[in-house]
Amino acid sequence: MRPNIRKIMVSTSGGDAPGLNAVIRALVKRAILGYGWEVVGSTAAYNGVMADPMDLIPLDMERVSGLLIQGGTILGTTNRGGPFEFPVQGTDGQWTTEDRSEDLIKRIRSLEVDAVVSIGGEGSQAISQKLFEKGLPIVGVPKTIDNDLSATDMTFGFQTAVETATEAVDKLHTTAASHNRVMILEVMGRDAGWIALASGIAGGADVILIPEIPYDIAKVVERVTTRQRGGIKFSIVVVAEGAYPKEGVPFAQESNIVGRRQPILGGVGRWLVKQIQEATGHETRVTVLGHLQRGGVPCPPDRILATQFGVAAADLVAQGKFGHMVALQNQNIVGVPLTEAIRQYKYVNLDHHLVHTARGLGVCLGD
């Protein structure tokens, strides 16, 4: 029996990604044109619902017009806390966290919202599953530029991030060749090397370092010096922010932001500059691409995938398939249980065809 849906709510949480607005647009259009539902958006993940007074955005056809090509998210987002670890300030001025999930569900029900669509990554969908277990009708949409959710072949935002990183590699080639330098590009990806691997191959990098393959700095130095001896005086290194040396750990610092558990990665590029320059005497520079990978207009493949996900999310709600997340599998848009979506992190498999391609090209992977 299909549920009686009149009103749904959508939220975006975690890091932003190109295509978030495209999902919102598609979800709203499908909800209104296909099912006649009312749609509201909670600002800054669930913070809008938790605010007093609540901060909600009515989403109609006029409000989502033009969103397909707009970067960011009109709802705003946050990667701090969540309903199970909601940041609260005590009377002494100190910040702590507390479980506000029951309050959140009560507030959502008071709005006469029949279902929630949560657009977010692994952490956000873990929250979705816990809310579903508490009785909230919820559907997930996978979002991350890191492409690290195992239940879906691709996440929207990834292709745009790869394009941005590849364009940076292309530009570093010309300045590296002009100055006979080693140029290092540090890209995002957290614990997965998908962005580094894809952009490194697309940009023709000589060295690609990813978290899944702890690297031997001697191997990196050897590749640079071999190119020098062969008359090629420059080299391009693409390194994922989570990459780390053998018998070492990722370069990271603990976050001092209440409600944020994940450490802040970054710094491996600067360390490589020092190591390569000291070992080779070759002038070495680093570019940290950072949040440029998250911003800007989504590329056409991300617009298409985001649109497919938005329509499919509305359809899952209509079918009453709560506790599920939309996913791309074998070129088909399907619904998978949230438990399956968050069960396993999607690392780069060392037998993956992109790894095989990189090795076939003679790219140094640090091992």
Q: What does the pLDDT look like over 128-165, one tens digit per residue?
A: 999 999 999 999 999 999 999 989 999 999 999 999 99
Q: For residues 348 and 355, what is the distance between their CA atoms, to the nearest angstrom? A: 8
Task: Enumerate domains of the chain plus CATH numbers.
Answer: 7-156+298-343 (3.40.50.450), 160-294 (3.40.50.460)
Which tokens is 187 given?
Answer: 């890209």
Q: What confidence tens digit (pLDDT) does each residue in 169-186 have?
A: 999 999 999 999 999 999
Mean pLDDT, to the nearest integer, of 35-48? 96
Q: Which residues sit opposite 282 in a β-bridge?
A: none
CB 124 within 8 A of CB 14: yes
Q: What confidence tens digit (pLDDT) does each residue in 96-130 have?
A: 889 999 999 999 999 999 999 999 999 999 999 99
Give the confidence band of 260 by pLDDT, cuts at 50, 70, 90.
low
Give the confidence band of 261 by pLDDT, cuts at 50, 70, 90.
low
In this prediction, what percent of the chain has a pLDDT beyond 90? 85
Q: What region does 332 belong to: left with phi over 0, alpha with psi -120 to 50, or beta?
A: beta
| CA dihedral for 255, 325, 22, 43, sign (positive or negative) | negative
CB 308 within 8 A of CB 142: no
CB 76 within 8 A of CB 12: yes
Residue 290: half-sphere exposure toward Cβ, Cα within 13 Å: 7
Mean pLDDT, to the nearest integer, of 11-33? 96
Q: Which residues sit opposite 185 in a β-bridge?
A: 238, 287
Catalytic residue among 146, 191, 206, 302: 146
Q: For residues 167 and 173, what is the distance between their CA atoms, to the nearest angstrom? A: 10
Give the confidence band of 38 by pLDDT, cuts at 50, 70, 90.
very high
Q: What confidence tens digit (pLDDT) does each residue in 77-103 have?
A: 998 778 999 888 787 878 888 999 999
Q: For residues 115 and 113, what is the distance between their CA atoms, to the nearest angstrom? A: 6
Mean pLDDT, to the nearest integer, of 2-20? 94
CB 358 within 8 A of CB 365: yes
Q: What confidence tens digit (pLDDT) does each residue in 195-235 have?
A: 999 999 999 999 999 999 999 999 999 999 999 999 999 99
pLDDT at 321: 97
Report the b/e string of 82-101 with b at 16+ CB within 10 A.
bbbbbbeeeeeeeeebeebb
In this prediction, what percent of the chain has a pLDDT beyond 70? 97
Residue 254 pLDDT > 80, yes or no? no
Residue 271: half-sphere exposure toward Cβ, Cα within 13 Å: 18
Catalytic annotation present for 146: yes
Residues 6+ apart with CB under 8 A from 55: 42, 43, 44, 47, 48
pLDDT at 53: 93
Q: In which residue are the tokens 């006469």 written?
A: 112
Give the confidence band of 249 by pLDDT, cuts at 50, 70, 90.
confident
pLDDT at 258: 57
Task: State pTM to two decimals.
Answer: 0.93
* DSSP conformational letter for 292: G
pLDDT at 96: 84
Mean pLDDT, to the nearest integer, of 23-30? 98
Q: Which residues sit opposite 88 in a β-bridge?
A: 96
pLDDT at 256: 60
Residue 304 pLDDT > 80, yes or no? yes
Q: In the predicted model, what is the mean pLDDT of the chain? A: 94
Q: What confidence tens digit (pLDDT) does each residue in 323-334 have?
A: 999 999 999 999
